[in-house]
Structure 1
Amino acid sequence: MRILFVHSLTIQRDDILWGIIELGIDVESSTTLVDLDAVEEDKVESLVAELAGYDLAFSQNFSATLAEACHIAGKPYLSWTYDSPLVALYRKEAAYETSYPFHFDKKQCQRLKAAGVTNIRHMPLPAN
C-alpha cells in the first residue's frame, strides 16, 4: 500500500506521518500544500496526476481540494479531523464515496452522518 500524505497551509505536523512510517507502510509527503477552507481548482489537477502512483491520500483535517482530486482519480481519501466543529466537513466533497473522514467528536459525526456524510467515522484524538 502506498499513501500520499498531504499537508495543509496551516497544519504541517509530522506526528501522524511518522506513525504511519513506524507501522511499515509506504508513505510519502506531497510537496503540494492545500488550503483547508476552499477548493483550489488549480491544485486539483496536479494532485490528480500525483495520485496516480498511490493507493490513497491522507490529510490532517479535511481538505475539499484533496477530496475533489481523489474523487476524480477514483482513490480513497482519508482525513483525521481534530477541530470541532469543522465547517469544511459540511461541503459536498465530504459526502463523496471516495471520502472517508475520521473525527474525534462523536456528536459531530452523528450530525454529519444525518446530513449525508455516510462514510464518516469516529476516532479519538491521537497522542504520541
Structure 2
Amino acid sequence: MEETISAWKGLQTIVRIQSTREIQGKKTQETRYYISDEDESKAAYFNALGRGHWGIENQLHWHLDVTFKEDQCRARAGYASQNLSVLRKLALQIASSQKDKLSVKRRLYKAALDSEYLKKMMGI
C-alpha cells in the first residue's frame, strides 16, 4: 500500500464516501473513493465537494436529456453520437451564459426563430 500511495505526488487525503438511497422501498448502498492533494481533516468538506460535483453533473445531464432530448437520439454510426454530444454541450454553455430572464429551452427556441438574437448569443 505504501508503494501505491507514494506513486501519487502531492497526495494528502484518501476519502471514502458511503451512501445509501431508497427508491420505492428498495435500498441500495454505494461506496466511492477519492484522492486529494488537500490536507483537510473535516469529512463535511469532502462531502460538500462530492455533492457539488454530482449536483453539477446531474444538472448537465438533465438539460441534455430534457432540453436536447439526448436519450432519444439514435445516432450510432461512427463518431456521430460523440460529435452531437459536444455540440449539445457547446450550445448549452452558450445558451446558459445569456443574461436574460428566459429559460435555456426558450433561449434556444428564440435563437432558432430570430437570427439577431442568435447573433447576440454567438457574440457576432
TM-score normalised by the shorter chain: which range applies? under 0.3
Q: TM-score, normalised by structure 1?
A: 0.24
Of the two, which has the highest radius of gyration? 2
Greater relative contact order (Cα 8 A, min sep 6): structure 1 or 2?
1
TM-score normalised by L of structure 2: 0.24
Say which structure is richer in helix. Answer: 2
